[in-house]
Amino acid sequence: MRKPRGWLSRTFLVVVALLGIAITFRQGWIPARYTPLPALDIDSPLPLMIDWQLAELKHDRELCRRVVQASKSLKARPIAPRINKNGCGWTNAVRMSEIGGAKIGVSRVSCEVAAALALWSKFEVQPLAERIFGQKVTHIQNFGTYSCRKIIGSKFWRNRLSEHARANAIDISAFRLADGTRIVLKRDWKGTGKKAQFLRAIHSGACNYFRVSLGPDFNRAHHDHFHFDRGDLWTCR
Ligand SMILES: [Zn+2]
């Protein structure tokens, strides 16, 4: 009787320890200089490590500065932190003007979301635009990143602060191709044409970089945009 019990408790302890380590990396609690994880390289990321490498940017302003400076795919500049008494604000954010060769206008967004957007644009949006339309996306439009509010459209989470309240989310609404063609979520999501095919493919591709990726099929509140964030929840719908 003793042997199996000892084996079980050791296995339990190992599982708890591994879970603890995974949560620590997932939350970005260990400063980058103390982890064996290589720092994120936006131009050539490690596919299996992307989530933890992005999480390292959550609290580390110096790492953010280095990662942004080294990248050709993300044109951004760190901005000063601002935290309000009600929990809204940002600690490690950037102003951003270009991701993966496409212009985007964002005055404040968490460094983690900015890096995830650059990866998404470079490795999903641009290759899919080339394949489906034979040209590049030049502009990505958004409805905004920062808004001090609670979660909208969910009865269960309605008392929780939205990731928008920490500038850790973005709502993407439309795209423009090199020849001027516009692809708009509100108009082009439905159907079987090239534009719908493109939107569905890039939405699915966003799940590789964002923890929450919601589109028009999720609920009415998202009928005209993609919501992407790097918060604690995990869903792709
Ligand atoms: Zn949103």
Domain spans of the chain, in order of start: 31-236
Residue 156 pLDDT > 70: yes
CA 195 to ligand 1 center in whole angstroms: 22
Contact by Cβ (8 Å): 104, 96: yes
State residue 1's pLDDT score.
53
CA 226 to ligand 1 center in whole angstroms: 7
Task: Identify which has the larger pLDDT, 234 or 98.
Answer: 98
Task: Identify which has the larger pLDDT, 191 or 195.
Answer: 195
Q: How far is CA 110 from CA 22, 53, 115, 135, 169, in A?
A: 22, 14, 9, 29, 8
pLDDT one-digit tens code per residue, 65-111: 999 999 999 999 999 999 998 889 999 999 999 999 999 999 999 99
Q: Are strands 169-177 and 137-144 parallel, antiparallel or unpaired?
A: antiparallel
Q: What is the number of alpha carbons within 13 Å of residue 89 lying toward its C-beta?
A: 10
Range 20-39 average pLDDT: 81
CA 163 to ligand 1 center in whole angstroms: 8
CA 59 to ligand 1 center in whole angstroms: 21
Interhelix angle 126-133/194-206, nearest 10 degrees: 160
Range 197-216 average pLDDT: 97
State what percent of residues in the chain have pLDDT above 70.
Answer: 98
Mean pLDDT of the chain: 92
State residue 16's pLDDT score.
87
